[in-house]
Amino acid sequence: MAFTASHMKQRAAGLSARFTAFPPNAQGAFWLCISAVLFTGMTMMIKALHAYPPAMQTFFSQAMGAVLLMPLIVRTKGKVLKVQGFWLLVARGVCAALGVMLLYYAFQKLPLAEANALSFTRGLWIGPLAAIVLKDRVRPAEWVALVIGFVGVIVVARPTELSDNALAQFAAVLSAFLLALSITGIKFLTRRNSVSTLLVTSSLTAVVLMSVPAALAWRWPTMTDFLLLVGLGSLSVMSSAAYIQGMAVGDTARMAPVDYVRMPLAIGAGFLAFHEVPGLWTLGGAVIIVGTAIWSALGKSDPLPIEDPATPI
């Protein structure tokens, strides 16, 4: 048994060495693809557990994140909780938590492909918000990308048609805005706080904030559903971890387009699991949104980090 364990350890070390021999951008793309697969599984669980309100689902996912961050708090002897700019950190955590809850609502109510397409507007908001909040210089092309991207939103939403999904579509776009706002705050808040501090405070803020609406809409899950809700939280954390690793290893501007592999995965998952077939309007709008988001990301010389939608950073 000792030989087997040693042999497995050597094989793992060999595979790790081979993997690290690949170019950083290839490693980053691998981790982002893993994140996309996990994220797609998470969205399928969100839709499958639609009987439980978004606030309750969000509470479970963020509680799992908080549990996994407890060792970090213990290891640093609570130093990670020493913050600079407490209320700004809380405000950022609120934006992230509300953004995730609205995203969960959108995934419950909309076809997976449509919800994913609208969520991609997050990347279009970041540049203009950086100009307004951080006073960063933003290229005119980024404002153009925002306008064109929202033409794509109009194509997907088709506001001239009365739709029962209008509220969910609005929730998806508002979620993208709130998550982009929370991402914009990273650059400002990390001037005086560590990334670990942002992780912990955002997670704890989300748990506290979501506990109230989750309690008001609470329904006791069966044991099977409870395990699925825990699984939802676990997938959320793992997807975020893989995403952060990918963005840390690869060049941010080059990695951003890889994240859009979520779109074909969402189409496939929606078709296989829920018999959803996206229409031409959804596909056409998705092409416009994704195309302008990629154009905007690749044109940035110093892009802001793009936060994973599954879990607030």
Q: Residue 43's pLDDT is what?
A: 93
Domain boundaries, given as residue ranges, for the chain = 25-298
The pLDDT score that the predictor gives to residue 14 is: 58
Asked if 60 and 230 count as a contact pair (C-beta separation under 8 A), the reply is yes
Q: What is the DSSP string of 32-98?
A: HHHHHHHHHHHHHHHHHTTTS-HHHHHHHHHHHHHHHHHHHHHHTTTGGG--SSHHHHHHHHHHHHH
Q: Estimate the crossing angle of helix 24-48 against helix 2-20, to 10 degrees.
A: 110
8 Å CB contact between 81 and 70: no
User: What does the block give as tokens for 167?
Assistant: 């509220």
Distance (Å, rounded) from C-alpha 202 to C-alpha 19?
Answer: 32
Tokens of 138: 């933003």
**Residue 104, token pair as written in the block:** 């969960």
Give every CB contact of residue 217 below 8 A, 6+ residues apart in sequence. Answer: 53, 55, 56
The answer to whether residues 39 and 246 touch, using CB atoms and an 8 Å cutoff, is: no
What are the start-end ranges of the E strands in the chain?
A: none
In angstroms and rounded to an integer, the radius of gyration of the C-alpha atoms of the chain is: 20
Q: How far apart are CA 135 and CA 124, in angstroms?
A: 17
Res 312: pLDDT: 45
pLDDT per residue of the chain (313 residues) written in tens, 0 to 9: 445 666 656 665 556 667 567 778 788 888 888 988 999 999 999 999 999 999 999 998 888 888 888 888 888 887 878 878 788 888 888 988 899 999 999 999 988 888 888 888 887 787 778 777 777 676 777 677 777 877 877 777 676 555 668 888 899 999 999 988 887 777 777 777 777 777 788 888 889 999 999 999 888 999 999 999 888 888 888 888 787 777 767 776 666 677 778 888 888 888 888 888 888 888 888 888 777 777 766 665 555 454 554 544 4
Residue type at 65? G
